[in-house]
Structure 1
Amino acid sequence: MLSPSSLTVFGILLLALVTVESGGYFLTKVVRGHVPANALQTSFFRAGHAHAAVLLVLSMAILAVIDQASLTGFWFWLASTGVPIAAILMPAGFFLSVLGRDPEKPSRLIWLLWLGVLSLTAGLITAGVGLLAAGLAG
């Protein structure tokens, strides 16, 4: 049984998938040439869209089991929110770093991607260790 806070985050993640759906529509316009974009933008838009979807679904999978982990306080928070935070930061880094007319390289906003990588890694390690500890103790 999910805790009320996990249910709330789960609901938010499901609703966030609607934004991924609208992003998919935008991406179809880009690849059909209806929205001008250079090769860098097209590849970053694709990567941002894919990361958003995969990380949101991964977030829901973690939330489905994280209440069983041997974690409390900050560690439980990190295990529960590290991947959802990455699901926001990583796509934002991909999308926002290539805005503008015909950029030749990503802007400084690419740091959002790397901040998301840190959040993803911290969340996965914490959730994995917490669940492993609970499994070995049980």
Structure 2
Amino acid sequence: MDHLVLSDASRIVAGILLLSIVTIEFGGWFMTKIVRGQVPMTDFQKAFARAGHAHAGVLVTLGLIAQVLADATTFDGAVGRLVRLLIPAAAILMSGGFFAASAGRNVTQPTKAIVILWLGAASLAAGALTLGIGLLTA
């Protein structure tokens, strides 16, 4: 029976991403405390907490898929490593940006830490574009 063979780089990043799911689970538990009113937050902070948690889960999943797809390209060396890391980096930066931009007491609008979110969006765009082009030209 044929089975999927990942490059070492994709296997390592995928393993790290799978381990990171435990932190996302912890975030889900914390979200249950937020929605039950056990953690004092403004409506803005609750919205950003939900967005940060959701982005983490979705982008880690996309990062896992990207590892398999990266192995289907002809990228190697520095570009191959970069492609494998840009989408997982977006998972950290975007979700972290939501949390950082809403941290503090009684925060009702994003703080300057919102820049972390935008860096994550740039990382996601660069990763998706590079991987997409790599797949179309392989």
TM-score interval, normalised by the smaller of the two chains: over 0.9
| Partner residue of 2:16 out of 12, 19, 24 | 12
Please, which runs of 5 or more residues in structure 1 have no aligned partner? none
Identity of aligned residues (%): 48
Distance 1:99 1:62 in 2: 31
Q: In the alignment, what sits opposite 1:31?
A: 35
Checking the alignment, whether the CA contact within 8 Å between 1:78 and 1:122 is kept in structure 2 is no
TM-score w.r.t. length of structure 2: 0.94
Give, in angstroms, the shift of residue 65 of structure 1.
2.2
Distance 1:6 1:71 in 2: 12
AA of the residue aligned to 1:106: P
Checking the alignment, whether the CA contact within 8 Å between 1:78 and 1:126 is kept in structure 2 is no
After superposition, the C-alpha distances for 1:17-55 in whole angstroms (9 at most, x for unaligned) are 110000001011001101111100000000000000000
Q: Would you identify which runs of 4 or more consecutive aligned residues in structure 1 move more than 3 Å?
A: none
Q: In the alignment, what sits opposite 2:134?
A: 130
Q: In the alignment, what sits opposite 1:100?
A: 104
Pairing 1:16-95 to 2, within 5 Å after superposition = 16-95=20-99
SS of equivalent residue, structure 1 residue 82: helix
Please, which runs of 5 or more residues in structure 2 have no aligned partner? none
AA of the residue aligned to 1:5: A
Q: Say how many residue pairs are matched.
A: 134
Quote the RMSD (CA, aligned, Å).
0.9
Distance 2:52 2:100 in 1: 10
